[in-house]
Amino acid sequence: MANPRSRTRPAHSAGVTLQQVAQHAGVSLATASRVLHGSGSRTVGEELRRRVEAAAEELRYVSNAPAQALARATSSVVGLIVHDVADPYFGAIAAGAMRAAREQRLMVMIAATFREPGLELAYLRGLRAQRARAVILAGSGTVDAEATAQLAEEIAGFEADGGRVVCVGERGPDLDTVAMANRTGGGLAVRGLWELGHRRIGVVSGPPELLTVRHRLDGARRALRGLGVPAAEDAIEAGDFTREGGRAAAVRLLRAHPDLTAVLVLNDVMAAGALGGLRDDLGLAVPDQVSVVGYDDVPFAADLRPALSTVRLPLEAAGAAAVGLLLEPRGDEPRRVDLPAELVLRASTAAPPD
C-alpha cells in the first residue's frame, strides 16, 4: 500500500522555475518575470499576461525569494532583535511590528539574545548576511562602551550595505529611534505616588548596565529630588529583569528600609515578583501598608491582585512605529518618534498608612 506521505504529485509542483512557467505559457522568461513580479512600470499585453498567470497557477509556481533577492540586491525581510520573546514586553513590541510588517508584505526574521551580551552583535551580523532590508533593535542599549562601539561599527556596515536600522528605545543620537518615555515615565510614577501622599518612596531597579533602566531610574530620581523626598538616593535595590529578581530585590529593599510606604518597580515582570515577595515573605499588605507601581503595563498587569498600578508604554505602537520608520527613506537627520508614557493607577496603590 502506498504510504500517504509519498503520495505522488503531478510532476510539476516540485521546484518549478520561472523558466518553466514561461515555457509552458509560450513566452520568454523576461515576460513571465514581468507578469509575476513586475514592478509595474513595464506592461505586458492582456493576452500574454493571462497565459502566464494561468501557467503559474497550473504549475503551482512559487517564486524563489533568495534568487530574487540576489538579482534585485534587496529583500523583503526585516530583522527584529529582542532580548527574549517570552517576555511580554518584547512580545507586545514584536506583535506590533509584525502587524505592521504584514501590511507591508514584509517577512520578519526574529532573533532572541536571551540577554547574552555578544549575541546581539552576532545576530545583527547574521541579519546582514541575510541581506535583510532593515533591522529593528528592540532590546535595551547598554552602558558597556566596548559593546556599544562594536555594535555601532556593525550598524554602520549594515547601513553602508544599504540596510536600515531602527532602535526601539534610545541607543545613540545618530540612530533612527522610536523613543519610549523612560525618563518621563519614571517621574510620572514618582509624582503619582507623591500625590497619593507618599513621602518615603523606594525603587526596585533592574540591571544597572541597561540604558532603559538608567533612564527610568534617572527620571524617578530627578522627580524624587525635585520633590525633596529624603533618603531617596539609597532606597534603591537592583535585581534581574525577572520575576525572581524583582521579588528578591523588593524583599531586600523593604528589609533595609522598613519605613518606605511605596515602591516603584522598574518593570512589570519584576513587579509581579515584588508583589509576591512583599506579601509572602514579608507579610506586607499591598496597598494598605505599601503601595507598588510597576512599569510597562504588560497585558497581565491588570490581572495581578492587587491589579498593578503601572506606567503604561504603548508597546505595540512602538513596534509598529519602528516598522513605519524603516519604510521611510533614510533622512539626513536621524529620525525620531517619541511615544508617551501614562500613569495607570489601579489597585496596588493607595494613600500611605497613617
Give CA 341 to chain center in angstroms.
16
C-alpha cell of residue 193: 505616588
- Residue 334 binds: one of DNA, its own copies, none (C-beta under 5 to 8 A by kind): its own copies
Which of its own copies, DNA, none binds 193 (CB below 5-8 Å, type-dependent)? none
Asked if 243 interacts with its own copies (CB under 8 A), we say: yes
Apex CA 246: angle with CA 139 and CA 166, to 5°? 10
Which of 13, 45, 86, 280 binds DNA (CB under 7 A)? It is 45
CA proximity to 133, closest of 106, 156, 113: 106
Contacts with its own copies in 152-171 (CB under 8 A)? 156-157, 159-162
Q: Which amino acid is at 160?
A: A
By CB under 7 A, name the one of 23, 53, 63, 84 that touches DNA: 63
Could you give the string, one character per residue 65-94, with x where binding to DNA holds by CB under 7 A and - elsewhere?
Answer: --xx-xxxx---------------------
285 belongs to the binding site for its own copies (CB under 8 A): no
Side-chain-side CA neighbours of 269 within 13 Å: the count stands at 15
* Cβ proximity of 60 and 16 under 8 Å: yes
> Phi then psi for 81, rounded to 5 degrees?
-110, 120
**In this structure, are strands 164-168 and 134-137 parallel, antiparallel, or unpaired?**
parallel
Please name the residue that has the C-alpha cell 531586600. 252
Query: Is residue 107 within the footprint of DNA (CB under 7 A)?
Result: no
CB 36 within 8 A of CB 63: yes
Q: Which does 207 bind (CB under 5 to 8 A by kind): DNA, its own copies, none?
A: none
The SS3 assignment for 48 reads: helix
Question: Is 89 or 194 the residue whose CB approaches its own copies more closely?
Answer: 89
**Taking every pair of C-alpha atoms in the chain, what is the biggest distance, in angstroms?**
88
Site residues (CB under 7 A) for DNA? Answer: 3, 15, 17-19, 27-31, 33-34, 36-37, 39, 42-45, 47-48, 61, 63-64, 67-68, 70-73
Question: Which residues contact its own copies by CB under 8 A?
Answer: 3-5, 7, 9-10, 13-15, 60, 62-67, 69-70, 73, 75, 77, 84-88, 91-92, 94-95, 98-99, 102, 107-112, 114, 119, 125-131, 156-157, 159-162, 174, 243, 272-273, 275-276, 299-300, 303-305, 316, 332, 334
